[in-house]
Structure 1
Amino acid sequence: MTKNVMVTGGNRGIGLEIVRAFAQKGYKVLLACREEEKGEAAKKDIVGGDVHVVEMPLNNEQGIIDPYVRAEAVYGPIDVLINNAGELDDTKWQSLNTMSLTRSLQVNTFAPFTLIQQALPSMIERGYGRVVNMSSGWGSFHQGMEGPTAYAVSKAALNALTVNLANTIPKDVDVTINAACPGWVHTRMGGSDAPTSPKEGADTAIWLATHDANGPNGKFFRERKEIGW
């Protein structure tokens, strides 16, 4: 049976490369993005594949839940969820206000949590599922939490969420939740000086989303190698 994968922020950069890869693998791909028009435009760049655009603004809980429920009603339950969309606010902490910090937390932490809440119970019930949270070394205590405050804090929270929820999954089901660090990637967020291509940045997330049974759970990876939280 064809598996369904949902990719947030799937209309550009790393997300688009993930969508492209899963389309080529024969998955039914739900390309979730803020504006349907941008998703449809990005979809034209994908040759073949079963790709469907889901308009899903991540700035509020109901704006996430309603499109998700509609998507499952039309296309069936989600087997693979990749929380790829993110926001990089590089405001220095001295100038950062709580509204901006909350906005970063909403996109980078709360939205993935809301989507996992929707997807995980069904995955556990059906005995199969993969969740991949696209994180960053800037959100790693092990690497010094050196990124801009709003981004680093929200990604560290995403890492904590990954471990916490992974620990709740029963041992007898083939369901995993892991985090991926794509590295410094040449995207609109990463900038033109970044040495890693979007396709290269997508590789670890795709690998984590397609691993065999008894694969990792509650771990953090870069270039398919486990790294410290």
Structure 2
Amino acid sequence: MTTTLITGANKGLGKETARALVDAGHTVWLGARDEARGRAAADEVGARFVQLDVTDDASVSAAIATISEAGTGLDVLINNAGIAKWGSDFTESLDSASVLEVFDTNVVGIVRVTEAALPLLEQSANPVVVNVSSALGSFWATHEPSRPASSFVSLIYGSSKAAVSMLTVQYSRAHTNVKFNAVEPGITATELGGGDPGSHPGRPASVSAQVVAKLAMIGPDGPTGTFQEDQGELGW
């Protein structure tokens, strides 16, 4: 049985990824800051709930301890938790507090959780880490006229996802026994940045979750140090 931890998974892409992996036979730990919402989401998809705030060292340590004590082991970590500070017109908040909050969640949060989880992951026969990134963090996609990312300005969120991409590369080199990959899930109708999924132009989270789940299910001969999307590898 493969055991997977997903951060920020009480709604949207994280919850739908949890649903897909439960359906594929994984034991899924659904991580969420809010206990009531997290437990409800876990019950809905058939996962286990663990309280996890990626911006809080103590919360992260406690979550990994809970998984360790449960005896399930840990084979896959999906760093899904992420935020954006966009207004209704997709104008970003550029005050220092907002910028720090985005980077603390999207970038430092990955380091917090990954570092805490690595001792458990390294006990697995097939350890995998999937970092949810974005084409807005791809230098190639933001310079390629055929890509939507080339015409959407995102100073802070995009920069944070560029950092996620580099973390993926460097972690893959630092821990060669673990497969680290970044994923662009596609333009997805979620509440990221405070929007209304019902009026979002993106595709359903259940569709975007498929590419995340696919990377979570790679075998021992799977890729590492890559950036993936539906069609295959994405340029950095």
TM norm structure 1 = 0.88
Where 1:153 maps in the other structure, the secondary structure is helix
Question: Aligned match of 1:184 in 187, 192, 203?
Answer: 187
Which moved further from structure 2: 11-20 or 190-199? 190-199
Q: How far apart are 1:101 and its partner, in Å?
A: 1.1
State the distance in 2 between where 1:126 and 1:74 align. Answer: 15
| RMSD value, Cα | 1.9
**Contact 2:83/2:106 (8 A) holds in 1:** yes
What is the match of residue 106 of structure 2? 108
What is the match of residue 204 of structure 1? 211
Q: Residue deviations 1:155-185, cap 9 Å, x none?
A: 1111110000001223xx4x30001111111
- Moved segments of 4+, more than 6 Å: none
**Contact 1:64/1:111 (8 A) holds in 2:** no
Which moved further from structure 2: 116-125 or 97-106? 116-125
Percent of matched pairs sharing the same residue: 30
**Contact 2:39/2:49 (8 A) holds in 1:** yes
Structure whose residues are more often helix by fraction:
2
State the distance in 2 between where 1:77 and 1:228 align. Answer: 33
Which residue type is aligned with residue 79 of structure 1?
D
Please give the residue correspondences for 1:1-229 in structure 2 after superposition, counting only pairs within 5 Å. Answer: 2-46=1-45, 49=46, 51-90=47-86, 96-144=94-142, 146-170=152-176, 173=177, 175-189=178-192, 191=197, 192-229=199-236
Where 1:128 maps in the other structure, the secondary structure is coil
Where 2:174 maps in the other structure, the secondary structure is coil
Which moved further from structure 2: 143-152 or 197-206? 143-152
**Contact 2:54/2:113 (8 A) holds in 1:** no
What residue ranges of structure 1 are gaps of 5+ in the alignment? none
Where 1:167 maps in the other structure, the secondary structure is helix
**Contact 1:132/1:180 (8 A) holds in 2:** yes
Which residue type is aligned with residue 221 of structure 2?
N
Q: Residue deviations 1:179-207, cap 9 Å, x none?
A: 11111111122642323111111111111
